[in-house]
Amino acid sequence: MDKYYILIYLIVTEILEMAGLSRVFVKCGKKGWKAFIPLYRFEMLGNCAGREQEGFSLMLLKAGIDISTVACFLFKAGSLYYMISSFLLMLLMIPFTIFSLRVYFGICDAFGRSRLWVFLWSLFKWLCAVVWGFGPNFRTAEGYPFDEEEAAPEVSGLEADSHIAGLSINITKRTAMNFFRRQVLLKDIHLSIPTGHMVLLLGGSGSGKTTLLNAVTGYEKAKAVITLGGDNVYKKYNSMKYKIGFVPQQDLVRGSDTVYRTLSDAATVRLPSSVKGDERRERIGSVLDTFGLTPVKRSLVDKLSGGQRKRLSIAMEYISDPRLFILDEPDSGLDGVMARALFEKLRSIADSGKIVIVITHTPDRVADLFDDVIVVAKDAHRTGRLAYYGAVDKAYGFFGKNSMEEILMSVNRAEEGGEGRADDFVRKYSALAAGGKV
């Protein structure tokens, strides 16, 4: 009989909690009636606290907790199903408690109250919801910090020329599902890169650099029009994939193979089936010479130096003679001298009429080798946007900085140790590009 009294208590406190939270939501500028939607109020509370992801996680965890709780009431105490339900309930309570604390900290900040209230919220959520919701002295802090304090920059309306000989990028939007919610990863990115240009791709962690590159190569398609030499990459993907080379940060080579065998296998995969044996061997020999690997072509990959191994990884993608060559952290693990030599090789590849796009975490030591820089940054809605595209030397003046590292810090969000000025520069670039001044 005791468990039914507990059930009645839970129902009553649930109703009081919903009533109190409805008033809390109103004070935070939200719709109060949303507090009465089962489970959804947890996400709404996270939004009020400026902890959107934690709020959404709480909603999912609470669903699991409710199911486990009901199961405990239905099954006989001591039975196998009862023990399983009890175990799941305790297991789910651990992350639920952690995420709840984060949300309560945010609520205290929003209302300008001492964080000591967090302990009361943890123990008596329904009581705090009623007191904070209906109490006349509990109002949100001046300048409520989690409102739409600054709307993300509007769509620029720009469009890159899709008929140029080089690379044209017109990305309207790139979305993905994240915890059952559609999230906008990239938005409004339009630029054209001429042939023969070597371009630095700059952006903080999570800004959308890799997502942008995947969209350009067609590996993860976006709502976009990507053209290379006037050909649509998405519509002609089966043929265009041979004209795009992508070198990931991790080496994808087998240490037990020789250098020549590694390139031979890459040629089999990367070259069209129409390429015959003699032509394939000629191409392998040319690439070995280009990357200075001819003297070690019979050596095992495991016996190569770090620089040689990195050059081999790049050569594997270059074997198809791509028009567009993209590299993610090609200097990872290399010292300054070796990295410089590698980037000089990439510079010569660009000078041969290719387009080379590179991500590097140490841009300042090789910035002079690049023609242009693309800066992507997260706007107010955490969406990757174009904050700058243009000549490297003009980028310093545009951002008012003396180095690429300082430029990166200016667009990084404040919680990431940056200046949080991404939206300002997205707007500034859009205005300049619209006026034809970049």
For the chain, the first-to-last Cα distance in angstroms comes to 76
pLDDT in tens, the chain (438 residues): 466 777 788 888 889 999 999 999 888 888 889 999 888 889 889 888 878 888 888 999 989 988 988 888 788 777 888 888 888 989 999 999 999 999 999 888 888 888 889 999 988 888 999 999 998 887 765 555 555 445 677 877 888 888 888 999 999 999 886 655 678 899 999 999 999 999 999 998 888 899 999 999 998 899 999 999 999 999 999 888 889 989 887 776 777 889 889 888 888 888 877 778 888 888 889 889 988 889 988 888 888 887 888 888 888 888 988 999 999 888 887 777 888 888 999 999 999 999 999 999 889 999 999 999 999 999 888 889 999 999 999 999 999 999 999 999 999 887 777 898 999 999 999 988 887 666
For the chain, state the CA radius of gyration: 28
pLDDT for the residue numbered 280: 86
pLDDT for the residue numbered 1: 47
Alpha helices (H) in 199-276, listed in sequence order: 209-217, 237-240, 259-270
pLDDT for the residue numbered 411: 92
Pick the closest to residue 111 from 89, 86, 136 (CA basis): 136
Token pair for 22? 């409805």
**Phi and psi, residue 60, nearest 5°:** -70, -40
Token pair for 227? 């053209």
Residues 6+ apart with CB under 8 A from 416: 204, 205
Token pair for 306? 């770090």
Helix (H, G, I), strand (E, B) or coil at 377: strand
**Phi and psi, residue 345, nearest 5°:** -65, -40
Helix (H, G, I), strand (E, B) or coil at 171: strand
CB 148 within 8 A of CB 424: no
Residues 6+ apart with CB under 8 A from 169: 160, 189, 190, 191, 192, 193, 216, 224, 226
Q: State the CATH architecture for 167-434.
A: 3-Layer(aba) Sandwich (3.40)
Q: What is the DSSP letter of 208?
A: S
| Alpha-carbon gap, residue 436 to 239, rounded angstroms | 34
User: Taking the model in full, what pTM does it have?
Assistant: 0.72
CB 168 within 8 A of CB 159: no
**Phi and psi, residue 231, nearest 5°:** -95, 135
Total H helices, total E strands in the chain: 15, 10
Helix (H, G, I), strand (E, B) or coil at 211: helix
pLDDT for the residue numbered 140: 67
Residues in the chain: 438
- Going 108 to 113 to 116 to 117, the CA torsion angle's sign is negative
CB 53 within 8 A of CB 45: no
Pick the closest to residue 50 from 104, 98, 10 (CA basis): 104
Domain boundaries, the chain: 2-134, 167-434
pLDDT for the residue numbered 374: 96
3-state secondary structure 107-161: HHHHHCCCCCHHHHHHHCHHHHHHHHHHCCCCCCCCCCCCCCCCCCCCCCCCCCC
